[in-house]
Chains A and B, each alone.
Chain A
């Protein structure tokens, strides 16, 4: 069974969307470790180490995710998570911003996939399944 660690990063308390995401990921047969709101970036990594997770799925709605996730991939590598897949989605910046630019910035932080707030859950799940090799 593939394991995914998820939660809302940083000082963001918007938990509802992430809870829905958590349920949806469980429904496709993943083992989901939900860390809830207000989760420091480092906590995702520590939990991924302990649970030998296959992916980290981060939600953020308050516009400060870029600050919260500085050096995220580097920290994963430092913690020994060589092959972990990283996902992030939500309102990732403040104000209007071209999504292509947002995606570029978060990919530079090491995220494999970056989603806008308008993404359909099913589309995300399909990509996640394909990436993790889950039917």
Chain B
């Protein structure tokens, strides 16, 4: 309808962020945020954000479509269960991460009583149960289903293992009074990752059950529906920006880094095929849309992890300050997580910390080469995605968006001679999500992909 704006809402773990768009004009009207109020009433934070935006615009506008995603109340917390750690357990974890989940714990082989106790204590939102390729092992997944069936676990269980065991797994869990959904095997064959079906199921469970279970349902009095976890919205946006649509070209393959206070997420929309025929791929393939989460890398809660990974001396060198000054600022952050940098020196330390975060998180996300010396000479193997030729790096999250030197921070996502085995982009262009709207682009893509693409490209700032 003419004159109506489209609203995108992210019920984040800390802030409820909103962005209003005029889809006709393909423009961003405004953004606002207010602390998320999940403990009392989720609507309070949203209403406050809407009021702030209303003030900016002079009056509270009429909204047509109201789309939302959420990572509030702990996000989508999942436990994955597989058979062999490097095979189905790894495949299940990749599928869960790609569905926007926070994977709290990964189990493999047969679950024992204390592990069941652990799952009960974790109280995950969803359990992903896998094991066995199609036609492969059935014994372990059946055993694990039986263990879960007689446990006190109440979370929905998604069974995505050996199809030959699926019926029995379903019946066992159903008899145990569990909420179970069976879907296609996440690893139907060795080396084959089949994440789409599992992710579809996870997404509909999120919409139908998790939103309600987390007390977010009241938000749906105002927004049309909480459609997906926030990381999924961002991953959707990255995929759209990379691939474009039938009528509009994208930016080519994309690597995106989101540095948060507690975690750093890295997303790639890339095939990751080896750039040289001399690289022999090994291990489980990665999906085109890949997300990794570094739980130990964050600018506030997880600052210790950054310091440990980057090294305090190297961080001090990087910002050109005395070690004591850097240590003092980090101590200040740890004392007050709401610390914001006030001086040029503190801005410099923040940038150096962000650089270390980007370096560590992208190194863990990107594929790596290993030199193997054989009697026939040197052979190179590739594990994961080769991102060498990837043309586009996007940064988001306060530590990049608010940085005085975003390009310097993002350059740490690139290949460097000192770490030749990490296949990161060699000569990408750099963009910043300066309005913090990647989540919104991912949400808009569900209703108007062409417009979402053009809006997404338009509001990225090249740095």
* A 28-58 binary contact with B (CB < 8 Å = 1; else 0): 0001010111100000001101111100000
Closest to A63 in B: B375
B138 at the interface (CB under 8 A from A): yes
Contacting residues of chain A (10-42) with chain B, CB-CB under 8 angstroms: 11-13, 31, 33, 35-38
- Interchain CA distance A63-B87 in the complex, whole Å: 29
Q: Bound complex: CA of A35 vs CA of B132, how far in Å?
A: 17
Q: Is the CB of A50 within 8 A of B132?
A: yes
Q: Are B133 and A51 in contact (CB under 8 A)?
A: yes
A1 lies within 8 A of chain B by Cβ = yes
When the two chains form their complex, are residues A51 and B375 in contact, meaning their CB atoms are under 8 A apart?
Answer: no
Q: Return the CB mask of B187-201 against A: 1 if under 8 Å, else 0.
A: 101100000000000
CA distance A46 to B108 in the complex (A): 12
A residues 91-126 touching B (CB-CB < 8 Å)? none
Residue B379 lies at the interface, judged by CB distance under 8 Å to chain A: yes
Given A50-B87, A52-B136, are A37 and B375 neighbors across the interface (CB < 8 Å)? no
In the complex, how many residue pairs between chain A and chain B have their CB atoms under 8 Å apart? 65
- Could you say which residues of chain B place their CB within 8 Å of the CB of A64? 375
Which bucket holds chain A's interface residue count? 20 to 34
Q: Answer whether residue B88 sits at the interface, using C-beta atoms and an 8 A cutoff.
A: yes
Task: Check A38–B381 contact: CB distance below 8 A.
Answer: yes
The closest CB in chain A to the CB of B86 belongs to A46
Q: Which of A31, A35, A37, A50 has the most CB of B within 10 A?
A: A50
Q: Within the assembled complex, what's the spacing in Å between the Cα atoms of A115 and B163?
A: 36
Decide: A13 and B379 in contact? CB cutoff 8 A: yes
Across-interface contacts of B88 in A (CB, < 8 A): 50
List residues of chain B with CB within 8 A of the CB of A46: 84, 86-87
Which of A13, A37, A49, A62 contacts B84 (CB under 8 A)? A49
Q: Mark B282-311, 1 if CB is under 8 A from A, else 0.
A: 100000000000000000000000000000
| Residue pair A50, B280 in contact (C-beta under 8 Å) | no
Inter-subunit contact A38/B282 (CB<8 Å): yes
A50-105 CB contacts (< 8 Å) to partner B:
50-53, 62-64
Contact B375 A62 (CB under 8 A): yes
Q: Is B374 an interface residue (CB 8 A)?
A: yes
B372 A11 Cβ-Cβ under 8 A: yes
Instruction: Say which residue of B87, B136, B379 sits within 8 Å of A3 (CB atoms).
Output: B136
Residue B226, interface by CB 8 Å: no
Residues of B with C-beta under 8 A to A38: 280, 282, 372, 374, 379, 381
List B contacts of A3 (CB < 8 A). Answer: 135-136
Which residues on A sit within 8 Å (CB–CB) of B84? 46-47, 49-50
A51 touches B86 (CB 8 A): no
C-alpha spacing A33/B135, complex, angstroms? 12
| Closest partner residue, chain A, to B138 (CB atom) | A52
Cα(A62)–Cα(B377), bound, Å: 12
Contact digits for B375-396, partner A, Cβ 8 Å, 1 yes 0 no: 1100101000000000000000
Q: In the assembly, what is the distance between CA of A127 and CA of B433, in Å?
A: 63
- CB-nearest residue of chain B relative to A11? B374
Q: From known contacts A11-B375, A33-B189, infer whether A49 and B280 are also in contact, taking CB-CB under 8 Å.
A: no
CB distance from B204 to the nearest CB of A (A): 28
Judge whether A50 and B374 touch: CB under 8 Å: no
Q: Tell me whether A12 and B190 are in contact (CB under 8 A).
A: no
In contact, A31 and B135 (Cβ under 8 angstroms): yes
B169 CB → nearest A CB, Å: 15
On whether the beta carbons of A52 and B132 are closer than 8 Å, the reply is yes
Which B72-90 residues have C-beta < 8 A from chain A? Answer: 83-84, 86-88
* A37, B136: Cβ atoms closer than 8 Å: no
Q: A13-B379, A37-B280 are in contact. Are A50 and B190 (CB under 8 A)?
A: yes
**What residues on A are CB-neighbors of B136 within 8 Å?**
3, 50-53
Chain B residue with the shortest CB-CB distance to A51: B136
> Which of A13, A37, A51, A62 contacts B190, CB < 8 Å?
A51
Q: In the complex, what residues of A have CB within 8 A of residue B189's CB?
A: 33
What is the CB-to-nearest-CB distance from B41 to chain A, in angstroms, rounded to a whole number? Answer: 47
CB distance from B207 to the nearest CB of A (A): 32
CA distance A46 to B372 in the complex (A): 21
For the complex, give the distance between the alpha carbons of A14 and B133 in Å. 27
A50 touches B137 (CB 8 A): yes
* A36 cross-chain contacts in B, Cβ below 8 A: 280
Bound Cα distance A62, B84 (Å): 29
What is the bound-complex CA distance between A46 and B376, given in angstroms?
Answer: 27
- State which residues 116-141 of B face A: CB under 8 Å: 131-133, 135-139
In the complex, chain A residues whose CB is within 8 Å of the CB of B133: 33, 50-51
Q: Nearest Cβ distance between residue B37 and chain A, in whole angstroms?
A: 46
A33 touches B190 (CB 8 A): yes
Could you list 10 further interchain pairs (A-B, Cβ under 8 angstroms) beyond the known A13-B374, A50-B133? A12-B374, A13-B376, A13-B379, A36-B280, A37-B280, A38-B379, A49-B83, A52-B139, A62-B375, A63-B375
Interface residues of A (CB under 8 A from B): 1, 3, 11-13, 31, 33, 35-38, 46-47, 49-53, 62-64
- Top 7 A-B pairs ranked by shortest CB distance? A51-B136, A11-B374, A52-B137, A50-B87, A52-B136, A46-B84, A50-B84
